[in-house]
Amino acid sequence: MASMEGRVALITGASSGIGRSTAVAFSSRGASVVLAARRENELKLLAQEIEANGGKASCVVTDVSIAADVDRMVVHAIQTFGRLDYAVNNAGYEGIVASITKLPEETWDRVMDINVKGTYLCLKYEAKAMLDAKQNGAIVNVGSVNSFLGGAYFPAYCASKHALIGLTSSVSAELAPQGIRVNLICPGFIDTPMHQRGRQLLGDAIYDQKLLPRVHLRRAGRPDEIAKAIVFLCSEDASYITGSTLTPDGGLTLTL
């Protein structure tokens, strides 16, 4: 894969998991990275790690469900590094395990605010920055295998991730003629803090005996494996890929 020297990547949800690994992966290709999340201390530690390895990083505390925060995040990227080439809309919230009859309305609202509204707001301001600069760009939204598979007792999360398919397809159709590619990546079981929380909610027995055996590779994926796929989708090696869904899930969805 070609160097990304001189390019700038913005990653939301960068404080842990897939977002953290994605920031490191972009930096390893030479890109400057803008790290966005709600947890400032974790962002600062990651920025220090990237800079200690010779990279360039800047942090901006952001709640993607708040328009003013997202606007400020994108402005920060432009003011700090002078441009925006790649954006990864990774911030997400899983909610709780609950029956549809018992799911609190406030949980539904929070999941939708972060996963759907948050992605919409990021796309809105990222696309505007790229269009204003009259430059090509690439955006990757982060979905889940639950973007096309239902999961009992996860109605809000599954609905929010389903929504990203239509959102990605629509925005790709709009922006592709103007040189901006938009794709969706839908990981399976990936060993992240969110995944660990879900495993605890379901119980080790259900996870180990019922869910993991459905994965062809018989293991959870690593965050860096997803990060590499995201960087690929942003790179020139994926120059003819837009409006698409990539599903790095170890074969999970082929079994369910």
Torsion of CA 245, 248, 253, 255, to 10 degrees: 150
Catalytic residue, from 120, 157, 207, 240: name it.
Answer: 157
Neighbouring CB atoms inside 10 A of 44's CB total 15
- For residue 41, the tally of other CB atoms under 10 A from its CB is 9
Alpha-carbon distance values, 72 to 57, 59, 77, 113, 126 (Å): 17, 12, 9, 18, 11
Among 185, 167, 182, CA closest to 246: 185
Residues with Cβ < 8 Å from 151, sequence gap 6 or more?
157, 158
Query: With contact defined as beta carbons under 8 Å apart, do 58 and 114 qualify?
Result: no
Tell me the torsion sign for CA atoms 237, 10, 64, 194. Answer: positive
Rounded alpha-carbon distances, angstroms, from residue 162 to 82, 84, 155: 34, 27, 10
* CA 93 vs CA 49, 117, 247: distances in Å: 25, 12, 19
Q: Which residue is associated with the tokens 């080439």? A: 85
**Active site (annotated) includes residue 86:** no
- The residues annotated as belonging to the active site are 157
